Every structure is written in C-alpha cells, then in structure tokens.
Amino acid sequence: MEPKILLNYINGQWQQSASDVYQDVVNPATGDVIARVPMSSPQEVDQAARVAATAADAWRRVPPAERIQYLFRLKNLLEEHIDALSRMITDENGKTFAEAKGEMRRAIENVEVACGIPILMQGTISEDIAPGIDELMIRQPVGVAAIIAPFNFPGMIPFWFLPYAVATGNTVIVKPSERCPVTMHMAAELLEAAGFPPGVINIVNGGADCVNAILDHPMIQAVSFVGSTPVARHIYARGSASGKRVQAQGGAKNPVVILPDADLDMTTRIVADSAFGNAGQRCLAASLAITVGKARELFTEAITEAAKQRVVGYGLDEAVTMGPVITPQSKTRIEGLIQTALDEGAKAILDGRNTTISRYQRGNFLRPTILQDVRPGSTAACTEIFGPVLGLMHADTVDEAIALVNSGEYGNMACLFTSSGSAARKFRYEAQAGNIGINIGVAAPMAFFPFSGWKASFFGTLHGQSHHAVEFFTQTKVVIERWPKEWSRQF
C-alpha cells in the first residue's frame, strides 16, 4: 500500500503542507513505511496561529455549557473508533494492541473530565470586603494554546491538554510527534466530525523548526509540552522568554523500592509490567528496582523469570506482550547503554540485545534486559534508557533506599512495595517524586488528578490534566465593585 501523505488541519481545512521536506513514518515492528509526514515551515505555524487567534474571540463567547457539547460528541466518536485508533498506535508506535487501547481509554477519560468545565472553571466571590464593596475572581481563557507531543503516547498525551484548553474557551494548535503523527491525524478527523468551529483546533505537523516557531510566536499565549528533559528545558526557557505560560513535562528514571515484607508474586508481576510494558518507553516505566534486606535474592530470581516470559513481537499479534522500540537508532542507543553499564561494573542477568524476530526481520526488537549490581552514580543508575532495561540496586535499610530514590536527577515517579503501613507513609512523605505508587508500578494519575512530575521531570508550576489544566488554560481576573445605594433608582 502507498504510504499516506499526512496533511495539516488549519481553519477547518485539510491542507497539504507547502514544505517539500517529508519524513517517513515507519512501523517499528515491520519496517514498513506507513505514512509520510511534512516538516511544515514556520510560515505554516504563523498561518495556524493567526487563524486560531481570530477564532478565539468568537469561541470564548460560546457558553461553557455549549462548548462541552462538542466534547460529548467527541467522546462518543473516540469510543466508536477506539479499535481503529488503537491499531494505528500499535502500527506507528509498536506497543501492543492492549496497551494502545489502555492509552486511548486515558485519552477519553480526559475528555470526560473536561466536560465538567462549567463547574471546574467557576470563579469565587467575597461580599463586603468593605462596607458595600464586593470582590470577585473570574477565569477567562488565555487565547491560543499550543500542544507539543512526544512519540510514546501519540493518542493520549495531546488529550492531557486539548479538552481542557478548548472547554475553557481557548483555541489550539497541536504539533504531534513527527515519529508517530498518524494517530493524531485520525483523531483530528474525529475532532472535525465533532463539529468544532473552524480554527478552534488546528494540527501542524513538523519537527524542531515548527516547535521553535510556536515558542517565538506572539499570538500564542500558552505552550504545553511533553518529551525529553533537554528539549523540555529548551521549551521552558524559550517559551518563557517570549512571555508565554509554559508547562513542560520531561524525562524520567523511575525507582521502585521492594521491602522484604512485600507480596512477592504481586510485586514481581507489577514491576515486570512497569519495566517492560510499552517496551520500557513510558515516562512512568520502572527502570531501577531497589531491593531492601532479604528482598534481594527472592526478587532477583522472580523478576528474571517474569522477564523471560515476555513474548516479543508485533503488537497486533495476539500472544505478543512486548513490542519493538521506536527506531533502529533507539535500539542502537539502548544497546550502547547496556554495554556502558557492563563496562561500568554491572552484570547482565538477562541480556536482550541482538534480538531478531523471524517474521519481522526489519523490526527494532530487544528482549527484556536485567542488570544486576548497578552502582549509584553510574550511567545505568542515572540515565533515562527508555527501553526494556531494568537495573537492580540494593539497600540495607528503608532510609538508605529512600536516599537512593532522592539522589536522582528526575522526580517523575517512585514506588514502594510493602505490607507495612508505616513504611508506606514514610515513603509517601519523604520520596522526592510527584507521582507515588504504593504497591502500584505505574502510578499514572487518573484524568481528575494532575500529572505531577517533579525535579528534572517537569518545568513549570501547573501540570497537565484536571484542575491544574483548568488553571493553566485560564487567567484570573479580579473585579472589585462598589454600587452606592444613592445611585439606585427608586422603584
């Protein structure tokens, strides 16, 4: 089949990019080119920004209760097409169909939560701040918001922001990941079918040039970004420098601590899913397991067995439980990091390098890798590998384990496995990460909680999802009113 040529969606029209630079979108399991994505120019960002700014004036005047009717329609459309969208996620990203469907479920949940906007964006009022004087605070949209997405959740991550942005009365430009842009292309067809007025939602495909044009554009007021930490830092600095509000979610290196009193079977199953699910390409993937005391031997043996059970292959094949990594370059980078870990003194209990799957010779496959004796401060302890690699570390006490957790640069997630309530409370209190799991391996906040990364995993103040998104996409206006009695007409 001929690869699909992706279009931009601007002002309610599908239009071919003026750029003659295109990039292949490659199925990471089969190696087939499934689409070609344009590297749109800054002029196309400018066109989308102007259109969105024009549409914003009318859109903010649509009452919130009416704006959410578009979201109700969108929710139903996403439900109807969830299988097709999920298959596309598997095809362009590599994760299994079940993982892709779980991803789309989270996207839909954010649409559902944003349907509560008539209450969520309510203001406040204080009567009589002085005799006869009232003060009120209302929330108004910021204007045009841009969403810049990563490859690893192409169907979900734009929806951490988009439903809240439009429900609060903003217009939006989405710049999908150039590695996985087809899912958002399909979702945009559903956004169009939901009937949003032209210019309210726009899609511009491209890479870094497009992103920089967004960051510098004077008509864009807010930028939501999810991706790696170096790029998140850049987005935060450049977007803020041009006066925008910016929320930039970055990378991660997530530790899970296993105490000797943890339920071994449950812990093993959950940690294996966290470390090897989505082939480890999750910002909430467990990448370091820190055993405490006697947990070491039992867990090491159990997790090794669990990792061996992963069936690696094309995510649309039913028995498969782990797909490929996104690109050949990514596979090479991960294999290089495994070698560095070995050179720095770690031992491979399982080495997933040099993997090929007979039916899919062109796929970027790795098998689960488990590295033992990872030293604090080493590359394997500090670097986001973003592949199916779990490093094992050991601590003698809970305090030592928490110190290891807190020594990291990132703060996206930290988890504890235990049956002790007091250890759990201590961990929740002391661990320096914004998403905490207690006997949970992927502590992904539901749509009605903010996605709360800390440290180098987040730059900004207000996170994606829920109340934070509502605050991010609105600016407060405070009004102080005096209406003297003498001015009243007598009726």
Phi, psi (5° rounding) for residue 105?
Answer: -60, -45
Give the shortest CB-370-to-ligand NAD separation in angstroms: 20
Dihedral sign for Cα atoms in the order 98, 99, 102, 103: negative
In the complex with ligand NAD, the residue whose CB is nearer, 424 or 440, is: 440
Residue 212 falls in which region: left (phi positive, over 0), alpha (psi -120 to 50) or beta: alpha
- Which residue number places its CB atom closest to ligand NAD? 227
Contacts for 196 with CB less than 8 Å, ≥ 6 apart: 12, 70, 166
Evaluated on CA atoms 109, 115, 119, 123, the torsion sign reads: positive
Smaller CB separation from ligand NAD, 11 or 228:
228
Nearer to ligand NAD, 208 or 266 (CB): 208
Smallest separation, CB 281 to ligand NAD (Å): 7
* Burial status of residue 365 (CB atoms within 10 A of its CB: 0-12, 13-18, 19 or more): buried
**283 has catalytic annotation:** yes
Give yes or no for a contact between 426 and 402, defined as CB atoms under 8 angstroms apart. Answer: yes
Cα–Cα nearest to 449, from 441, 437, 439, 459? 437
What backbone torsions phi and psi does residue 238 show, to the nearest 5 degrees?
-75, -40
Task: Give the number of residues written for the chain.
Answer: 491
Write down the least CB distance from residue 489 to ligand NAD, Å.
Answer: 57
Q: Are β-strands 222-226 and 144-148 bridged in parallel, bridged antiparallel, or unpaired?
A: parallel
Q: Minimum CB separation from ligand NAD for residue 116, in Å?
A: 22
For ligand NAD, the closer of residues 59 and 386 by Cβ is: 386
Nearer to ligand NAD, 234 or 331 (CB): 234
Rounded-to-integer distance, Cα 475 and Cα 50, Å: 21
- CB-based contacts of 379: which residues, under 8 Å, 6+ apart? 337, 340, 341, 344
Min. distance of Cβ 326 from ligand NAD in angstroms?
Answer: 8
Residues within the interface to ligand NAD (CB under 6 A): 148-153, 175, 177-178, 207-208, 211-212, 226-228, 231, 234, 249-252, 283, 384, 386, 412, 451, 453, 457
Q: Edge-to-edge, what's the strand order for the sheet holding 254-258? A: 347-350, 369-372, 389-395, 286-292, 254-258, 413-417, 435-438
The two structure tokens encoding residue 62? 């649509």
**Which residue lies nearer to ligand NAD by CB, 85 or 262?**
85
Dist. CA 27–CA 88, nearest whole Å: 10
* Least Cβ distance, residue 444 to ligand NAD (angstroms): 9
CB of 389 to ligand NAD, least distance (A): 14
Q: Which is nearer to ligand NAD, 251 or 315 (CB)?
A: 251
Q: Which of 210, 283, 382, 415 is catalytic?
A: 283
Structure tokens at 355: 């993997």
Catalytic residues: 283
